[in-house]
Structure 1
Amino acid sequence: MLAQRISSVNALSALCEATGADVDEVAFAVGTDTRIGAKFLKASVGFGGSCFQKDILNLVYLCESLHLPEVANYWRQVIIMNDYQKRRFVGRLLQSLFNTVSGKRIAVFGFAFKKDTGDTRETPAIDVCSALLHEGAEVAVYDPKVSTKQMIYDLTQAGHSSESIAEGFSAHEDAYSAAAGADAVVIITEWDEFTQLDYNRIYASMRKPAVLFDGRLVLNHATLRDIGFKVLAIGKVVSTDAENLVF
């Protein structure tokens, strides 16, 4: 049920981007209904961790074993929506960078599936970084708790060779070195540290136009735009995306 709520609000985030609505406002309105409540209605790049996907797939298997295909398909859609959200995230980033990241440096802030843990099981960062590597990007990652060894292991398990990882991937000891010379910064994990960074310093060190994609809705987007960033965010039209609204 918790995973279903996340996929539900992420589905609405796509609709919000297409219409110019703000997913945080939609989630707040929905959450004020006491029958629903506000928890697990935060739009994001997608859920991860060891439980949600495994448990839902077990539920799908149980339903199929009991000859309940419609029920199985209903729950499978929670996973489909989560995978779609990650693909959509990467697609929007590509679009913002003129439909190619080949040879471009993308700084990824966060690799763990959520803050305050080093756990990378089913983290959206694996899918995002993997897709960027496949597109020829130089991926520079910073996470305060995940080791370089773990990141490399996860990317290897995702199908990347040691050679491709050595060529296109780097792990950094701080956010500033990851962002130096980057074309875009991507927030994957909602670490508190990322809300306290000096984004003037980060902007000054990046190539222009500097893109920042907030995949966790943790930053002040108006302030970032004032600095000079082209801002993208899940479920929001906060930059020149307004020109591309689909009705």
Structure 2
Amino acid sequence: MSTKRTSTTTPAAESAAQPLRLTVFGTGYLGATHAVAMAELGFDVIGVDVDQAKVDALAAGKVPFFEPGLPELLEKNLQTGRLRFTTDAASAVAGADVHFVCVGTPQQRTSHAANLAFVEAATSVIAQNLTQDAVIVGKSTVPVGTAARLRELVAGLVPAGVQAELIWNPEFLREGKAVDDTLHPDRIVLGGASAKAEAVMRAVYAGPIAEGSPVVVTDLPTAELVKVSANAFLATKISFINAIAGVCEAAGADVTVLADALGHDSRIGRQFLDAGLGFGGGCLPKDIRALMHRANELGAHRAGALLQQVDEINMGQRERVVDMALEACGGSVLNKRVGVLGAAFKPLTDDVRDSPALNVAAALHLRGAQVTVYDPEAGDTARRAFPTLGYGVSVEEAVEECDVLLVLTEWDQFVGADPQRLAALARTPRVIDARGKLAAAEWRAAGWEFTGLGRLAA
């Protein structure tokens, strides 16, 4: 059974003879952020990766992705000497006390199941190279049951005379807010930890715990399920309001006002109730599909069926926005100029993995539209992923001479743009607000033909 324990005092780290030394395996989005944050909390940290170019970039103070606040903390902690990066796993593991596994778990190419090859490889390398007793901490998002299997793997690989305990400590990072989420987490989950391992982890997270971050101590399966269940719930909430948006359109109601009214109910809340293009990115889509796959494996078919519907509703929103663009252009976008504001799957990131915005832009391009995409941070990553699309360097360039404008990522500069000034640039001032963030009355007053998902017609 899960138990919840909270602490507002600095834990048993005070009894340690010397500061804990940490390694972080994997220096992608999760790993790089975690390594920097752990150094910021005062630990000596070595980030380990098999990609020499990634290691060299981080060692030079360059973050290979956009995340507010991370470059400054990276540079600061490199200068203090508390943080370094290497491809030499053996030397990094030797002498360290806690080893975090932060590698990716992408979806398998042939199914919805998670690919655990990177997690297994990192865990094996750590176990084989241990020179002293240590705690191996899984942070990667994995299917339930993975940690128990990894424990067996570790037991067969650790050198004689060395004790290693594998526990699970899931991550809850939000892109765009990852630094704050790591330094000031809203909860710390420890799965499968003995009293000794729990004391070590309370020492690692002494700062956040002292600030009031609650610690949830539980078993391995529960810890593995927390992250994917949280993502599944958020995805379900998004798909729910998008399904209701369809009802609003049919009934002549306004989903934004409806969502505001629902949000006043403390049991529901307003967050993630914005009807629109739906969710994307590197976590929610793959995580709900992996959970769907695992639930069906375990015979929990109701959960699998629910998540299937959530996924279908979400993907249907992209098709709906494409249809709205076609309708706005008289049934065809062939040789029409389409302006697209947004490429990242959400604001405050340059992540375009499974981006609904780029999915819609590419679909219109395939139908013969002349598409110009602008995103303040994701232009380069979008160009690498979809090189056949056109890209602008400003909002104005995307809007210029467009037959229809699509707002597909809710960056502040798009939401706060001057509709009067932009109307003068468009060939035909038509706008589709696919994120439900524009002030419809202001855009209509400025001369725009305005449509949105679940929004009242003019």
TM-score (norm 1): 0.87
| TM superposition shift of 1:231 | 0.2
In the alignment, the residues of structure 1 paired with residue 456 and residue 265 of structure 2 have an alpha-carbon distance, to the nearest angstrom, of 25
Q: Deviations over 1:133-152 (max 9, x none)?
A: 1110000011000133x223
Q: Deviations over 1:178-233 (max 9, x none)?
A: 1111001110111111133232222112113x210111122211111111111011
Instruction: Quote the residue 2:431 is aligned against.
Output: 212
Counterpart of 2:457 in structure 1: which amino acid?
Answer: V
Counterpart of 1:142 in structure 2: which amino acid?
Answer: Y
| TM superposition shift of 1:238 | 2.9
Count of aligned positions: 226
Would you say 1:10 and 2:242 are equivalent positions?
Answer: yes
Counterpart of 1:171 in structure 2: which amino acid?
Answer: Y
> Where do residues 68-107 of structure 1 align in structure 2 (5 Å cutoff)?
68-107=300-339
Specify the SS of the correspondent of 2:372: strand
Per mean C-alpha deviation after superposition, the further-off stretch among 216-225 and 78-87 is 216-225
> Where do residues 1-247 of structure 1 align in structure 2 (5 Å cutoff)?
1-148=233-380, 150-155=381-386, 165=388, 169-208=389-428, 210-239=429-458
In the alignment, the residues of structure 1 paired with residue 301 and residue 416 of structure 2 have an alpha-carbon distance, to the nearest angstrom, of 48
- Unpaired stretches in structure 2, ≥5 consecutive residues: 1-232
8 Å Cα contact 1:110-1:188 kept in structure 2: yes
Specify the SS of the correspondent of 1:74: helix
Counterpart of 2:412 in structure 1: which amino acid?
Answer: D
8 Å Cα contact 1:221-1:238 kept in structure 2: no
In the alignment, the residues of structure 1 paired with residue 267 and residue 357 of structure 2 have an alpha-carbon distance, to the nearest angstrom, of 33
The RMSD of aligned alpha carbons is 1.4
In the alignment, the residues of structure 1 paired with residue 449 and residue 336 of structure 2 have an alpha-carbon distance, to the nearest angstrom, of 16
In the alignment, the residues of structure 1 paired with residue 355 and residue 373 of structure 2 have an alpha-carbon distance, to the nearest angstrom, of 14
Aligned pair in 2 of structure 1 residues 59, 146: CA closer, same or farther (>3 Å)? same
In the alignment, the residues of structure 2 paired with residue 211 and residue 63 of structure 1 have an alpha-carbon distance, to the nearest angstrom, of 44
8 Å Cα contact 2:343-2:379 kept in structure 1: no
8 Å Cα contact 2:328-2:404 kept in structure 1: no
In the alignment, the residues of structure 2 paired with residue 25 and residue 196 of structure 1 have an alpha-carbon distance, to the nearest angstrom, of 20
In the alignment, the residues of structure 1 paired with residue 422 and residue 265 of structure 2 have an alpha-carbon distance, to the nearest angstrom, of 40
In the alignment, the residues of structure 2 paired with residue 28 and residue 200 of structure 1 have an alpha-carbon distance, to the nearest angstrom, of 27
In the alignment, the residues of structure 2 paired with residue 155 and residue 172 of structure 1 have an alpha-carbon distance, to the nearest angstrom, of 14
Aligned pair in 2 of structure 1 residues 61, 45: CA closer, same or farther (>3 Å)? same
In the alignment, the residues of structure 2 paired with residue 88 and residue 46 of structure 1 have an alpha-carbon distance, to the nearest angstrom, of 11
Specify the SS of the correspondent of 1:140: strand
Which has the larger Rg? Answer: 2
Q: Which has the higher helix share?
A: 1
In the alignment, the residues of structure 1 paired with residue 376 and residue 390 of structure 2 have an alpha-carbon distance, to the nearest angstrom, of 14
Q: Deviations over 1:13-44 (max 9, x none)?
A: 11111211010121122222222222211112
Counterpart of 1:218 in structure 2: which amino acid?
Answer: K
